[in-house]
Amino acid sequence: MMNVKIRIPATTANLGCGFDVFGMALDLYNEVAFIPGEETLTGEIHGEGAGTLIFNEQNLFYKSMNFFAAHYGVDLPHGHLVMKHRIPMARGLGSSSAAVVGGVFLANQITGLQRSKEELLPLVVELEGHPDNVTPCLLGGFCSAHHIDADWQISQFSVPSDWRFVVVSPRSEVSTQKAREIMPQTVSLQDAVQTISGAAALIGALVNRRPQLLQAAFADRLHVPYRLTLIPHGKEVLKAALQAGAYASTISGSGSTLLAVSDENHAAAVGKAMQMEFGEEEAAQVHIVTVCADGVALIPLDKET
């Protein structure tokens, strides 16, 4: 068994009117290196979550590795994992999906089974419970997921290379459970039509390279207005992004990260404006990223992303 190293992308989901359907992989990565050993499976965690996460049987990455092994009836080889986390945790950037996808993908590599990503997709969706983050994390790019006849059907769309995604993560967290609980269980016909219209606008913006459609695409009425109340200064931060030159802005996943789409020339100013609107007490992190086209992947052992 040789050393193996993988990178796992952050993801942003929902993207306005695409609740629980749309997701996109971003070029902000966690890295995990596997070093073969002779006794059990151990790990060390650096970066985001290093002070709170422990690599043990309750760790989601470890659980996902074991889930893969149990599913295929194989044993995980012994060794040591060195995990470098850059994806902010519990902020709506797919940190849990990265653990699920990373664990399954790494187990696939070190056990030698070499299942295709398409074969791995049902496993990661089952582990995560919904497809919007794990699908782009696994496959890359912009994805929409559709449950048809008990199977997941995936559509992928390319994203304009000149778009920049400004993700700003405050100190405050928003739990996915709380973000779901705050949403209404029924919506008006008008809001339902608005959602369909916005989802169509997002696909149109991608296919036709028309960023001017993004504000309509992000004009969600299902979840964004409710979840914004859980994010300190949320409305003001989204407005600040537009005033600084962003095409559009919305919540990333369930929050608390907020996302803006910009051209390259305005991206830094958009990030700074959003960070300042959050205020010093939130100490918001700013990442200016593009799309990760290939999803989770092997990387050379001597290279860091």
- Strand residues in 18-141 grouped as ranges (E): 22-36, 41-47, 79-85
As to burial, measured by CB atoms within 10 angstroms (0-12 exposed, 13-18 middle, 19+ buried), residue 58 is exposed
The pLDDT tens digits of the residues spanning 195-248 come to 999 999 999 999 999 999 999 999 999 999 999 999 999 999 999 999 999 999
- Binding site: which residues? 88-98
Q: What is the DSSP string of 88-119?
A: PTTSSS-HHHHHHHHHHHHHHHHTT----HHH
| pLDDT reading at 101 higher than 80 | yes
State the pLDDT at residue 250: 97
Element (H, E) at 10: strand 4-13
Distance CA 179, CA 182 (A): 6
Residue with tokens 């459609």: 213
User: Which among 141, 203, 178 is positioned nearest to 255, based on CA atoms?
Assistant: 178
| pLDDT reading at 1 higher than 70 | no
Tell me what percent of the residues of the chain surpass a pLDDT of 90: 86
Categorize the per-residue pLDDT at 2 as very low, low, confident or very high, splitting at 50, 70 and 90.
confident
Q: How many residues in total does the chain contain?
A: 305
The rounded Cα 111 to chain-centroid distance in angstroms is: 26
Distance CA 263, CA 97 (A): 28
Strands 22-36 and 41-47: unpaired
Strands 285-289 and 258-263: unpaired
When pLDDT is averaged across residues 241-261 and rounded to a whole number, the result is 97
| pLDDT reading at 305 higher than 60 | no
Distance CA 290, CA 262 (A): 10
User: Are residues 113 and 87 in contact, defined by beta-carbon separation less than 8 angstroms?
Assistant: no
Strands 142-148 and 151-157: antiparallel
226 to each of 131, 197, 216, how far by Cα in Å? 22, 19, 18
Categorize the per-residue pLDDT at 300 as very low, low, confident or very high, splitting at 50, 70 and 90.
confident
Tell me the two tokens of residue 29. 């990565």
- Binding site for ATP: which residues? 88-98
Residue 137 CB-half CA count within 13 A: 34
The pLDDT tens digits of the residues spanning 147-200 come to 776 677 889 999 999 999 999 999 999 888 888 999 999 999 999 999 999 999
User: Are residues 37 and 165 in contact, defined by beta-carbon separation less than 8 angstroms?
Assistant: no
| pLDDT reading at 95 higher than 90 | yes
Q: Model-level pTM?
A: 0.93
Which domains are present in the chain? 4-157+292-298 (3.30.230.10), 163-289 (3.30.70.890)
